[in-house]
């Protein structure tokens, strides 16, 4: 159940007053007219409020951010020799290759420059020549 701030605050305050999850759930159902949070949710929010003084959502776990000094090291290595591969740079710095790639692409906005070879347009083929070639194939 996704609860908004007033619903969370209501549960915490009522639980602090009466110390009964059942009473909190009954009053919640009466006030908001919907399914109340579980016993575990009410106790967890109350414990969180006692610890932090806030019923806000905690920061979730995720990929740890890369330190600014590592970003600067990667920048220096690739500024010094821009033709260096990601694998060689990661070995030199002792940073995993996917991390080096992510730093280069996401943080430093550097992308590989690849030359594209295009075919030269042939000027001797004219529109009439193309049309006659189409007519012959039919």
Question: Does 115 map to a domain?
Answer: no
Identify whether residues 40 and 77 lie together within a single domain: no
Q: What is the pLDDT of residues 58-97, one digit of tens each?
A: 777 777 788 899 999 999 999 998 888 899 999 999 999 9
Predicted TM-score of the model (pTM):
0.44
How many structural domains does the chain have?
Answer: 2
For residue 80, the enclosing domain spans 68-107
Question: What is the per-residue burial (b if ≥16 Cβ within 10 Å, else e) of 36-45?
Answer: bbeeeebeeb
Question: Does 30 map to a domain?
Answer: yes
Helix axes 5-18, 39-52, angle to 10 degrees: 90
Question: Does 63 map to a domain?
Answer: no
Q: What is the pLDDT of residues 91-121, one digit of tens each?
A: 999 999 999 999 999 999 988 877 777 766 6
């Amino acid at each position: 159940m996704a609860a908004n701030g007033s619903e969370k605050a209501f549960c915490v305050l009522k639980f602090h007053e009466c110390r009964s999850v059942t009473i909190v759930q009954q009053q919640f159902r009466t006030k908001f007219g919907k399914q109340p949070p579980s016993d575990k949710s009410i106790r967890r929010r109350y414990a969180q409020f006692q610890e932090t003084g806030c019923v806000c959502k905690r920061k979730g776990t995720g990929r740890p951010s890369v330190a600014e000094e590592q970003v600067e090291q990667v920048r220096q290595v690739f500024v010094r020799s821009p033709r260096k591969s990601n694998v060689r740079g990661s070995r030199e710095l002792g940073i995993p290759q996917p991390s080096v790639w992510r730093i280069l692409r996401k943080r430093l906005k550097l992308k590989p420059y690849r030359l594209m070879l295009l075919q030269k347009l042939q000027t001797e083929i004219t529109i009439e020549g193309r049309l006659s070639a189409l007519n012959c194939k039919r």
